[in-house]
A and B are shown apart, each in its own frame.
Chain A
Amino acid sequence: MPDLVAALEMLRTPFHAGDQPTFLSDLTVGELVLLEEVDYRPVEIVSGAGSASWYPQFTTAGTEAQMWGGAIASAINSAREGIRSEVNRRGADGVVAMRLELEREPVNQLTCTMLGTAVRVEHRSGHHSAKGGEPFTTTLSARDFHLLARAGYRAAGIVLGVSVVGFAARSASQSLGISRDNVELEGQTNALYSAREQAMAMMEREAASLKADGVVAVELSERPFNTMLTHAVELLAIGTAVYRGRDGHRSLGPQLQLDLDDPVAETFTSG
């Protein structure tokens, strides 16, 4: 039974630091409860970072686009390698609720940082199952991780795909005369469509190489980049690869809930 009196009594005696390393966690207490319920305990806060730059202009679309996409992939991969090696050093199984930030300053440089809590599986019986394979790195929240684990899935890690498509400014506006007709612009449609598919395919290939069963929570982000000479769009697809459990999907039996709560009213509103 939760017992505040016993807890406060404990605080009256000074703490003696033992040899055990202090565990660190950037998870909230609520998140810790959710992880504990699926047998994971926090070990340490781990981090990784990567940074790369590229030439932002397009003269011949092919090589420049690859360099740009390659730089982005290398920044994110370095960050991932960094955080994985920290996880390995601590003997943990992976990182949950990882924060992934992309900073683009200056505009042709990308710095990717990752930060999260490394966790280790520890069954209630105290048994620590043997570690297998690469540590998982996931941006899934503790709550998503908990639901997946309960439904029988395992996170493999984040997977990513990137592609950049450029249109030299002249050809874009050349094909746009002032026309009275509604018309689809086939050239541009196909180029952008293909770039999206390539980014997705790259991400899927990475998941396949992990022998994952699928990728969830995919985020496809598109950033246009425009100068006098160039119109370009950078496409980035990031998702989390998962493994299905041997018995397939385990039902969670969700219940319908009717919330009687209203959102908290603002006392001070503008105007």
Chain B
Amino acid sequence: MVDQSPGPGTGAFQAVERVRRTPTSDLSVAEAAALRRVGLSPVGFVMGTAVMQLVSAYAGTSYGGMGIAGGMGLGGGMPWGGFLSSARSSGLYAESYPCVHGYGFGANADHYGFSVENTALGSSLFEGYRLALSRLEDEAIALGAHGVVGVKLHFEHMVGSAGTATFFATGTAVIHPSSEPLPTPFLTNASGQNFERLISLGFIAAGLAMGIGVVYVQPNCLARGSLTAVGANNQIPAAIGAARGRARQALAGTGHKLGEGVVHTEWSDRRFVRMGESWNQLALAFGTAVRRYTTEMQPSMTRAVVPLRP
């Protein structure tokens, strides 16, 4: 085999050196045992990190700022009609929510609202995770691994530096000793035990699928929960639906390139990067793309037990 060791100074080189000195693993005994039962051995703990400047198209604040940026009086008589309709024509989600009291635009800043997809922020996040994952993959390749199990992704806002975030990807590289290396190692967020179950279902993990959706929401008087207008609002559910829809679409898109389906998807939604009454509605999903390697499976039926508690 040609020596493909990475050179000094790269993160992957450091990982290889670390593992050659002392094989490490964050697997519990039970998880390592599950992997060995299917024929995989843990090689070492691998990691990838990236620090990103998060960019948001709507880092500004009030609708007043938007009005000036968007051009006055275009599109439906609203000062921001301009940028909303151009977002829509690019295929992005955009909706305006006028005041339910019918007040004129003038001084009634808190009454007008809009929701628009914030692709700049979505892309920053996607890029951060993608970089962290590709570095994790590099470490696995340098170790000659067939795959990485138990992949965890998380990110933290950097303290003291507004708009900067650190992305982490971690996992355990595994190898099937008697097989040749793969062109790219498989990545999965499933644990060792769940990987074993996946194999027994007739599937192999092909890679990680990921989808992110972000919608910037500036709520109108009804959606703001103000006491001047109460009742059911459509702005919030629609924004949540749009962010989730975009994440789901991207998840299916990345998954479609790798396998027949995506399982074990970890999903989170939250209100992110708040500014006054506005926020970014974020939906984030990542899961394991799977390919079927056999249609013959052992029929099983789980046993029901009642534990005797101490």
Contact = CB atoms under 8 A, between A and B. Distances in A.
Contacts of A3: 199, 293-294
Interface in A42-56: 42, 44-45, 47-55
Interface string B240-259: 11001100100110011111
Interface stretch (A166-174, A227-235, A254-262): A254-262
B157 interface: no
B232 A75 contact: yes
A113 B240 contact: yes
A252 B304 contact: yes
Given A30-B197, A42-B261, A22 B232 contact: no
A224 B77 CA distance: 44
A11 B180 CA distance: 12
Interface string B132-158: 000000000000001000000000000
B222 A8 contact: no
Interface in B227-278: 227, 229-237, 240-241, 244-245, 248, 251-252, 255-267, 269
B180 to A, nearest CB: 8
Contacts of B230: 52-55, 67, 71, 108
Interface string B186-226: 10001001111111110010100000000000000011110
Contact of B263 (A29, A254, A255): A29
B255 A22 contact: yes
A51 B255 contact: no
Contacts of B186: 11
Contacts of B231: 52-54, 71
Contacts, number: 205
B262 A30 contact: no
A82 B257 CA distance: 29
Contacts of A79: 237
Interface stretch (A12-20, A180-188, A199-207): A12-20
Given A22-B256, A22-B261, A255 B204 contact: no
Given A4-B39, A20-B260, A21-B252, A11 B265 contact: no
B101 interface: no
Given A5-B176, A37-B300, A52-B232, A259 B255 contact: no
Interface string B281-300: 00001010101011000111
B90 interface: no
Contacts of B256: 17, 22
Given A23-B262, A24-B261, A254-B304, A50 B232 contact: yes
Contacts of B265: 24-26, 45
B264 A29 contact: yes
Nearest to A262: B310
A29 B176 contact: no
Contacts of B232: 50-52, 71, 74-75, 78
B298 A28 contact: no
Q: How large is the interface on A (under 10, 10 to 19, 20 to 34, 35 or more residues)?
A: 35 or more
Contacts of B257: 15, 17
A236 B256 CA distance: 41
A8 B185 CA distance: 10
Contacts of B227: 55, 108
Interface in B66-87: none
Contacts of B303: 255
**A8, A42, A108 — most chain B CB neighbours (10 Å):** A8
Counting chain B CB atoms within 10 Å of each CB, the highest count among A6, A22, A30 belongs to A22
B301 interface: yes
Which of B193, B195, B224, B264 has the largest number of chain A CB atoms within 10 A? B264
Contacts of A254: 304-306
B267 A23 contact: no
B293 A10 contact: yes
A252 B237 CA distance: 41
Contact of B225 (A75, A106, A124): A106
Nearest to A111: B236
A45 B250 CA distance: 12
A13 to B, nearest CB: 10
A115 interface: yes
B38 interface: yes
A50 B257 CA distance: 33
18 contacts: A5-B179, A12-B183, A22-B255, A22-B289, A24-B265, A27-B264, A28-B263, A29-B195, A30-B194, A34-B302, A37-B301, A51-B233, A52-B233, A78-B237, A111-B240, A113-B269, A254-B304, A264-B28
Given A15-B259, A23-B262, A25-B262, 7 more contacts: A2-B199, A24-B252, A26-B267, A26-B285, A33-B197, A115-B267, A252-B304
